[in-house]
């Protein structure tokens, strides 16, 4: 009986060791610009493709070239509206587009997401009695935006048996705030298809 138990214990120990080894995880750095195909959902590759397309389109549009030839127009970017059925971080899309446009040297930006924080700081400087009035920034000195950049991200999802098709469309527009005229508009389309194998993988 004892001779039978020893091999059994050895098998359990080996199984436990193999199980622990199989459960160990490994973290590696990857290329942030590499094409991401984990699933059919909106991902980093889609974000990069949309941002690159929109910025290139806007900067090479003839009226925008004229507009920025001798000036750096002031823009504020409205939050991208997510009209898809997914939870998508559209703020990240907005940030990437804004950063690319700002780094082009053609535009200046007003960050509307920080208006309340700025207002609190100006109120503190001017009304708290704790800041030297000669160094306090006065109300009404900020420069207003001339243009508003805004957009929508929408999707159409269709499934037929083992095949799922997801179509994304990003539309963006640049509006002249004084006239209400649209100075530029473009869209980027992305289609992704996922097919399951017979094994359900």
Output the pLDDT for position 23: 58
Output the pLDDT for position 24: 66
Q: 95-146 pLDDT, tens per residue?
A: 888 999 999 999 999 888 888 888 899 889 988 888 888 888 888 888 889 9
Domain ranges of the chain: 40-195
The string over 70-109, giving b where at least 16 C-beta atoms fall within 10 Å of a residue's C-beta and e elsewhere, is: eeebebbbeebebebeeebebeebbbbbbebbeeeebbeb
Distance CA 136, CA 115 (A): 17
Output the pLDDT for position 29: 62
Distance CA 69, CA 103 (A): 16
Output the pLDDT for position 22: 57
**Prediction pTM value:** 0.72
Residues of the chain with pLDDT under 70: 1-25, 27-41, 43, 197-201
Q: What value does the mean pLDDT of the chain take?
A: 82
Query: Which ranges of the chain does DSSP label H, i.e. alpha helix?
Result: 2-23, 44-59, 62-67, 90-103, 115-127
Output the pLDDT for position 40: 60
Tell me yes or no: is domain 40-195 CATH 2.40.50. Answer: no
Output the pLDDT for position 14: 64
Residues 6+ positions from 100 with CB-CB distance below 8 Å: 51, 52, 55
Name the residue with tokens 């290329």. Answer: 31
Output the pLDDT for position 13: 64
Burial class of residue 47 in the structure, from the number of CB atoms within 10 Å of its CB (0-12 exposed, 13-18 middle, 19+ buried): buried
Output the pLDDT for position 198: 54
Output the pLDDT for position 177: 95
């Amino acid at each position: 009986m004892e001779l039978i138990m020893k091999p059994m214990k050895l098998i359990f120990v080996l199984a436990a060791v193999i199980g622990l080894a199989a459960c160990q995880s490994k973290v590696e750095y990857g290329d942030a610009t590499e094409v991401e195909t984990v699933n059919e959902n909106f991902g980093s590759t889609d974000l990069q493709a949309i941002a690159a397309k929109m910025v290139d389109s806007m900067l090479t549009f003839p009226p925008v070239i004229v507009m920025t030839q001798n000036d750096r127009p002031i823009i504020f970017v409205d939050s991208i509206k997510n009209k898809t059925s997914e939870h998508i971080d559209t703020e990240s899309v907005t940030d990437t587009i804004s950063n690319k446009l700002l780094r082009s040297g053609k535009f200046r930006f007003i960050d509307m997401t920080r208006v309340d924080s700025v207002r609190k700081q100006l109120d503190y400087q001017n009304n708290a009695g704790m800041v030297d009035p000669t160094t306090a920034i006065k109300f009404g000195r900020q420069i207003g935006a001339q243009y508003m950049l805004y957009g929508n991200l929408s999707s159409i999802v269709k499934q037929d048996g083992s095949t799922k098709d997801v179509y994304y469309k990003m539309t963006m527009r640049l509006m002249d705030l004084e006239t209400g005229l649209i100075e530029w508009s473009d869209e980027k389309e992305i289609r992704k298809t996922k097919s399951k194998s017979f094994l359900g993988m």
